[in-house]
Amino acid sequence: MKLNIVPARTGLTWVRLGIQTFWRQPLAMSGLFFMFMAMLSVVMAVPLIGVVLALVLLPAATLGLMAGTEQAIQGKFPMPSVLISGFRNGAPRMRAMLILGALYATGFLGLMGLSALMDGGQFASLYLIGGEVTQELVMQNSFQAAMWLAMALHTLLSLLFWHAPALVHWHGLPPVKSLFFSLMASYKNFGAFAVFAAAWAGLLMLAIIVVSLITSLVGSPALAVMLILPVTLVIMAMFFTSIYFTFRDSFTVDDEEQASAAD
Inside any domain, residue 1: no
pLDDT in tens, 161-196: 999 999 999 999 999 999 999 999 999 999 999 999
pLDDT in tens, 199-258: 999 999 999 888 888 887 777 777 777 888 889 999 999 999 999 999 999 998 765 555
Within-domain flag for 251: yes
Does residue 7 lie within any of the structural domains? no
Indicate whether 127 belongs to any domain: yes
Instruction: Measure the CA–CA gap between 44 and 46, rounded to whole angstroms.
Output: 5
What's the pLDDT at 226?
80
What is the pTM assigned to this prediction?
0.89
Residues sharing a CB contact under 8 Å with residue 13, sequence separation 6 or more, in sequence order: 245, 249
Q: Is residue 128 predicted with pLDDT exceeding 90? A: no
Average pLDDT over residues 22-32: 93
pLDDT at 255: 53
- Which of 39-43, 97-101, 198-202 has the weakest average pLDDT? 39-43
Kindly give, in sequence order, each residue whose CB lies less than 8 Å from that of residue 65, ignoring residues fewer than 6 positions away: 32, 33, 36, 83, 240, 241, 243, 244
What is the extent of the structural domain holding 239?
Answer: 12-258
Instruction: Tally Cβ neighbours within 10 Å of residue 49.
Output: 11
* Distance (Å) of CA 16 to CA 182, 193, 206: 22, 14, 16
Number of domains composing the chain: 1
Residue 241 is assigned to a structural domain of this protein: yes
